[in-house]
Amino acid sequence: MSALSQMGAVTGMNLRSIPRRLGSSSVIVIGIAGVVGVIVAVFGMTRSLSQALVDTGRPDRAIVLRSGAQNETSSTLLVDAFATIKNAPGVARTSAGDAAGSAEMLASVNLIRREDGAQAAVGVRGVEPTSATIRPEVKLIDGRMFRPGLREMIVGRGAQHEFKNLEIGDHVGLRDSVWTIVGIFESGGDANESRLFADAQTLMSAYKRTAANSVTVLLESEASFDEFKTALTTNPTLSVSVERERDYYQRQSEDANTFFDLVTTFVGIIMALGALFGALNTMYSAVSARTVEIATLRAIGFGASGVVSSVLVEALLLSFTGAVVGAAIAWLLFNGNTIGIGNNVGTLVFQMRITPALLGSSVLLACIVGLLGGLLPALRAARMPVATALRATA
């Protein structure tokens, strides 16, 4: 018999005996299912969080901050700088012929979360009218746009979903002023969708501020970035840093994720270890339950490879089954869930998206764990001295 058909024969024989060993076989299935479920859930959350942030930025937009500032909140740009920045080379024009730049102010307001009634911060972004050209992804889905000069705001769908009292017609108290919600917008599930938008001028005058936090510009093309950046950073009257918006949000997502990555990696490693021990356990007992059978096969003249592959295939099949079950449960439970994670200046509301790539890689991980768990027992089975094994259970 060829080595391959031997393997097939032994493996087939082995798989047919699984129903007799259902108890211990299910350990590997359930163990792996638990691990894959948790890993998919945890990584699904952190991946979705960073995706929401990364999606906010575009390569053909640039964000200008005070030099040294790590983010918008810790940046101040004085009014005098606005015109220089907006009119720098490389900035696109709106249909009306204005420079496509928006000097923006960020504020925060504490609102009540729907879920637990706790207070949490929501970001308020003051934007200029050019913002419509700069951010075409922001689309009104209900109500109307705020009117410059009036204390009106539009609310992102994410923020509205997460917080109470953000319906059209509701009032939001900012500093010394009451604002009315007049519209609801969506922007593809990005970070802006977790915010309130208002007119920058009106917001700054309500806050009696003469400085903005940032200027965001639409570039003529992705390639114009270098020209724009050089123009601003070499200008001695300015002290600013210029970043592609995509890179800026990429950095924000990395900052947000250092903590979560730590947690998820820790949980992932621990759980994979636990699953590995479980798989080893199952496969060792599977091998010992088949001692006589394996020894008999070897005595008849079957090669070691058939025995090894039969154990490996069993481990692989069981862990694959477990992985699919776990991934399916996690997908059913968590996919599409809305999650809000925040700090004291804002809350990021995002949808949990369990991607095929994540499902695929966790199933792959599970299969590797299963294979590793099968390897040692398989080698042990192959090395079992035939004579003693046959006698052992005589």
Query: Could you say which residues in the range 308-327 bind another protein, by CB under 8 A?
Result: none
Measured distance CA(117)–CA(125) in Å, rounded: 24
Binding of residue 257 to another protein (CB under 8 A): no
Binding of residue 107 to another protein (CB under 8 A): yes
Measured distance CA(224)–CA(18) in Å, rounded: 64
Minimum CB–partner distance for residue 218 and another protein (Å): 24
Binding of residue 343 to another protein (CB under 8 A): yes
Nearer to another protein, 24 or 201 (CB): 24
Nearer to another protein, 39 or 217 (CB): 39
Instruction: Tell me the site size for another protein, rule CB under 8 A.
Output: 65
3-state DSSP assignment of residue 314: helix
Nearer to another protein, 108 or 309 (CB): 108
**Nearest of 108, 127, 134, 103 to residue 211 by alpha carbon:** 103
**Nearest of 201, 191, 208, 186 to residue 136 by alpha carbon:** 186
CB 101 within 8 A of CB 134: yes
Query: Could you say which residues in the range 31-90 bind another protein, by CB under 8 A?
Result: 31, 33-35, 37-38, 41-42, 65-70, 73-76, 78
Measured distance CA(41)–CA(193) in Å, rounded: 23
Measured distance CA(166)–CA(161) in Å, rounded: 9
Nearer to another protein, 239 or 355 (CB): 239
CB 183 within 8 A of CB 143: yes
Binding mask 136-175 for another protein (x = CB under 8 A): -------------------------------------xxx
Measured distance CA(43)–CA(134) in Å, rounded: 32
Which one of residues 63, 198, 212, 280 is an interface residue with another protein (CB under 8 A)? 280
Binding of residue 180 to another protein (CB under 8 A): no
Nearer to another protein, 13 or 376 (CB): 376
Binding of residue 297 to another protein (CB under 8 A): no
Measured distance CA(317)–CA(372) in Å, rounded: 13
Binding of residue 274 to another protein (CB under 8 A): yes
Binding of residue 250 to another protein (CB under 8 A): no
Minimum CB–partner distance for residue 94 and another protein (Å): 29
Instruction: Quote the tokens at residue 282.
Output: 């199952």
Which one of residues 4, 144, 147, 259 is an interface residue with another protein (CB under 8 A)? 259
Three-class secondary structure assignment of 245-276: HHHHHHHHHHHHHHHHHHHHHHHHHHHHHHHH
Binding of residue 99 to another protein (CB under 8 A): no
Q: Which helix (H) or strand (E) holds 155?
A: strand 152-156
Measured distance CA(260)–CA(43) in Å, rounded: 9
In the beta sheet, which residues pair with residue 125? Answer: 106, 197
DSSP code at position 113: B
Which one of residues 141, 150, 262, 392 is an interface residue with another protein (CB under 8 A)? 262
- Cβ neighbourhood burial of 166 (10 Å; 0-12, 13-18, 19+): buried
Query: Could you say which residues in the range 200-219 bind another protein, by CB under 8 A?
Result: 209-211
Nearer to another protein, 345 or 368 (CB): 345
Minimum CB–partner distance for residue 313 and another protein (Å): 21
Minimum CB–partner distance for residue 68 and another protein (Å): 4
Instruction: Quote the tokens at residue 381.
Output: 């089975």
- Which residues lie closer than 8 Å to 234 by C-beta, 6 or more apart? none
Instruction: Quote the tokens at residue 326.
Output: 């776990």
Nearer to another protein, 65 or 219 (CB): 65
Instruction: Quote the tokens at residue 106.
Output: 């960020």
Nearer to another protein, 300 or 394 (CB): 394
Minimum CB–partner distance for residue 109 and another protein (Å): 5
Please report, as ranges, the residues that interact with another protein according to CB under 8 A: 23-24, 26-27, 30-31, 33-35, 37-38, 41-42, 65-70, 73-76, 78, 107-110, 115-116, 118-121, 173-176, 209-211, 239, 259, 262, 266-267, 270-271, 273-274, 277-278, 280-282, 284-285, 339-345, 347
